């Protein structure tokens, strides 16, 4: 059996061979594939050479296929169907999906987005399971190696190589305190950051934030009496102490009644936050993940307006 070197085979000859075997007429086969009759004759000669068989021979009623050609016909049909499938975008049906999507997120995102996302999944993709994992110092590696499908951040967060991001909406910072706090009935001032202990939220364990840099630029520093990775814990703490915290206004607003809170504008101009979602660019062609990012996008539009 003669072995054929595929790297030297012209795959453009496959549709030509298909037309010849179906039509058994060089002229009509040439019309099917858009070749001139001389070009089709040359293509037939090349096919005979590559396959080591005449393929079509003259009979009483015209050209007839050889036994080798007859054996090739069903295989050729299967191969061409497979090749066409490489260039056809598969139909994506959320209802048929059975899959787990992994997110790395803080409670500030999950509390606001998860209810809206799950409501949508119940309607359109009940077979999808969402697994939320904490944001850790390994988040960059987790995005790169695909352990995490999606995470969240702010627009000024540096992205690792190959990562992609998309804005989800605008939020702003709020200074949060209990309703009976000593500053509750007046504007919160820069010197109040030094006067009252603070609750800081950090996911990476360093306790640092952009807020500290802003305060330092104004010659003010704050004492973090409590550092936690949970935004909800920060709100629960300030609700029962004289500590204050500075975090997402949209998130804090969701707990104003429950924790009896007061929200104040920060005493500095840099209070806008642009929320983003972040994923590995190499996975941008996954139809399911493309669709799921759309679900997150729609949920964020509902939450952040």
- Residue 148 belongs to a domain with what CATH number? 3.40.190.10
Return the CATH number at 27.
1.10.10.10
One domain for residues 200 and 54 = no
One domain for residues 198 and 240 = yes
Scanning 10-65, the segments in alpha helix (DSSP H) are 13-23, 26-33, 37-51
Q: Are 274 and 170 in contact (CB under 8 A)?
A: yes
Handedness of CA 149, 154, 157, 163 (dihedral sign): positive
Residue where a domain terminates, one of 58, 86, 114 = 86
What whole-number distance in Å separates Cα of residue 184 and Cα of residue 55? Answer: 91
One domain for residues 187 and 253 = yes
One domain for residues 155 and 120 = yes
One domain for residues 108 and 186 = no
Res 1 pLDDT > 50: no
Res 176 pLDDT > 80: yes
One domain for residues 160 and 183 = no
One domain for residues 210 and 198 = yes
Res 9 pLDDT > 70: no
Across 179-207, b (16+ Cβ under 10 Å) vs e yields: eebebeeeebeeebbeebbbbbbebeeee
User: Locate tokens 């119940």: which residue?
Assistant: 122
What whole-number distance in Å separates Cα of residue 64 and Cα of residue 18? Answer: 14
CA 123 vs CA 131, 150, 154, 295, 299: distances in Å: 18, 22, 30, 12, 14
Res 167 pLDDT > 90: yes
One domain for residues 259 and 192 = yes
Q: Is the pTM of this model over 0.85?
A: no
Parent domain of 293:
94-167+276-304
Res 206 pLDDT > 60: no
Domain count, the chain: 3
One domain for residues 64 and 76 = yes
One domain for residues 136 and 282 = yes
pLDDT at 178: 97
pLDDT average, residue stretch 71-80: 85
Res 185 pLDDT > 50: yes
Is there a domain that residue 1 lies in? no
From the list 174, 226, 235, the residue with the least C-alpha distance to 200 is 226
One domain for residues 132 and 103 = yes
Q: 89-98, 115-124, 139-148, 203-212: which has the minimum mean pLDDT?
A: 203-212
Q: How far is CA 118 from the centre of its chain?
A: 17
One domain for residues 289 and 161 = yes
- Per the prediction, the chain carries an average pLDDT of 89
Give pLDDT tens digits for 237-289: 999 999 999 999 999 999 999 999 999 999 998 889 999 999 998 776 789 99
User: Locate tokens 């990012």: which residue?
Assistant: 293
Residue where a domain terminates, one of 86, 118, 148 = 86
Res 156 pLDDT > 80: no
Residue where a domain terminates, one of 57, 86, 115 = 86
């Amino acid at each position: 059996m003669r072995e054929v070197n595929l790297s030297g085979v012209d795959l453009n000859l496959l549709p030509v061979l298909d037309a010849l075997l179906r039509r058994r007429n060089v002229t009509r086969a040439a019309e099917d594939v858009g070749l001139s009759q001389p070009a089709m004759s040359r293509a037939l000669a090349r096919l005979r050479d590559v396959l080591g068989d005449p393929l079509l021979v003259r009979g009483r009623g015209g050209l007839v296929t050889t036994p080798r050609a007859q054996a090739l016909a069903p295989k050729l049909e299967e191969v061409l169907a497979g090749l066409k499938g490489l260039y056809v975008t598969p139909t994506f049906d959320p209802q048929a999906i059975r899959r787990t999507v992994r997110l790395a997120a803080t409670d500030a995102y999950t509390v606001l987005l998860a209810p809206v996302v799950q409501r949508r999944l119940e309607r359109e993709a009940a077979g999808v399971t969402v697994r939320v994992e904490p944001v850790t110092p390994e988040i960059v590696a987790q995005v790169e190696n695909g352990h995490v499908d999606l995470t969240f951040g702010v627009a000024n967060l540096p992205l690792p190589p190959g990562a992609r991001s998309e804005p989800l909406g605008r939020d702003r910072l709020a200074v949060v305190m209990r309703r009976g706090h000593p500053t509750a009935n007046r504007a919160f001032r820069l010197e109040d950051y030094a006067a009252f202990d603070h609750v800081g939220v950090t996911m990476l364990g360093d306790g640092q934030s952009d807020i500290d840099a802003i305060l330092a630029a104004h010659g003010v520093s704050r004492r973090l009496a409590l550092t936690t990775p949970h935004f909800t814990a920060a709100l629960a703490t300030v609700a029962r102490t004289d500590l204050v915290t500075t975090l997402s206004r949209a998130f804090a607003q969701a707990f104003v009644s429950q924790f009896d809170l007061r929200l104040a504008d920060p005493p500095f101009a840099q209070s806008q936050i642009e929320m983003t979602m972040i994923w590995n660019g190499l996975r941008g062609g996954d139809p399911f993940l493309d669709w799921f990012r759309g679900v997150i996008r729609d949920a964020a539009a509902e939450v952040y307006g």
